[in-house]
Homo-oligomer: A and B are copies of this chain.
Amino acid sequence: MSDLRYRTISFLSDYGLRDESVGVVKSVIKSVAPSVDIVDVTHDIRRHDTRAGGLALARAAQYLNPGVVLAVVDPGVGTSRRAIAIEVGDGQSVLVGPDNGLLAPAVALVGGATRAIELDNAVYHVPAPGPTFGGRDIFGPCAAHLCAGVPLLELGNEISTATLMPGVLPVGGREGDVVEGEILWIDHFGNLQLNLDPDDLDGLDGPLMLRSGEVARRIDRVTTFDQIGPSNVGLLVDSYGLLSIAIARGSAAEELGLKESDSVQLGLAEVEPGVSTPVELGKRS
């Protein structure tokens, strides 16, 4: 292993696993750097969904091993969008992919870019008979050459980090006692991760309501999933430190009919004195 500058490539794409694409990219990588360790982050990002790919990479970022991150979700393949490599931590890691915002959230989370280049030195590409297959012909081989010790600036010309396409990380807001956010991600279990963290609820003491479109549900503020009552909706800090909406042993996404990117509002539940029926027993949406 001592022959490598970086021993790990963490690989995310929207290629899926139904055909040989991911395997071909890995084979190209291994042909350049045989002993590199490739860790699949995921290859099931929705086709061309750079927002979802960027968020998955951001969630994973703090846990990935130092080394090269190879991320390919690239609706603009074959257009003039740039192929880039972004160095972070003064060389601790390098992110390789298209300049379309995909890498930006992860780069921001690990402290920002220290240098960036365009991958325009064709010496390190695999020649293609037709349009490039980005992962196989440019991103994969460049990631492998970085692991094998090729200096960053040898792979292409330096570009200003100020010219990199920013990522679209939606920011939550607050109007009086109402917190506005959106659903960043629906996990495998149907929990709804919001773009809000616990501090966003400061001062909102008391029972909360969740509103989104026609959904209006009172929510339990809990710290673990099993504190959520059988037919209730819970709000908790999730395992990434963000606020999430969940139900007990079921899918909040299905139960509430919500999807990624939907806007949500969290506000204090109105308590009408004299009305004895608790809000959470009302007809379900």
Query: A59–B22 Cα gap in the complex (Å)?
Result: 12
Interface residues of A in 136-173 (CB under 8 A from B): 136-137
A41 near B20: Cβ-Cβ < 8 Å: yes
Q: How far is the CB of A10 from chain B (nearest CB, A)?
A: 7
Query: A63–B23 Cα gap in the complex (Å)?
Result: 9
Query: A180–B27 Cα gap in the complex (Å)?
Result: 33
A1 near B42: Cβ-Cβ < 8 Å: no
Set of chain B residues within 8 Å of A239, measured between Cβ atoms? 128-133, 136-137
Query: A23–B133 Cα gap in the complex (Å)?
Result: 24
A249 near B187: Cβ-Cβ < 8 Å: no
Query: A30–B64 Cα gap in the complex (Å)?
Result: 9
Query: A224–B223 Cα gap in the complex (Å)?
Result: 52
Set of chain B residues within 8 Å of A7, measured between Cβ atoms? 34
Query: A47–B185 Cα gap in the complex (Å)?
Result: 18
Copies of this chain per assembly: 3
Given A31-B65, A56-B20, decide whether A249 and B48 contact each other with a Cβ distance below 8 A.
yes
Q: Which listed residue, B77, B130, B225, B236, touches A240 by the CB 8 Å rule?
A: B130
Set of chain B residues within 8 Å of A129, measured between Cβ atoms? 237, 239-241
Given A1-B35, A63-B136, A239-B136, decide whether A19 and B131 contact each other with a Cβ distance below 8 A.
no
B225 near A27: Cβ-Cβ < 8 Å: no
Query: A187–B237 Cα gap in the complex (Å)?
Result: 39
Q: How far is the CB of A127 from chain B (nearest CB, A)?
A: 11
Q: Which listed residue, B12, B16, B27, B240, touches A63 by the CB 8 Å rule?
A: B27
Which residue in chain B gives the minimum CB-CB distance to A226?
B79
Q: How far is the CB of A134 from chain B (nearest CB, A)?
A: 9
A63 near B17: Cβ-Cβ < 8 Å: no
Q: How far is the CB of A240 from chain B (nearest CB, A)?
A: 7
> Is A108 interfacial (CB-CB < 8 Å)?
no
A sample of 16 cross-chain residue pairs with beta-carbon separation below 8 angstroms, ordered by A number, consists of A17-B40, A17-B43, A19-B56, A20-B59, A20-B60, A21-B188, A24-B60, A24-B64, A27-B39, A27-B64, A77-B225, A78-B224, A78-B226, A129-B239, A129-B240, A133-B239
The 8 lowest CB-CB distance pairs between A and B, nearest first, are A129-B241, A130-B237, A133-B239, A23-B41, A78-B224, A20-B60, A18-B44, A79-B226
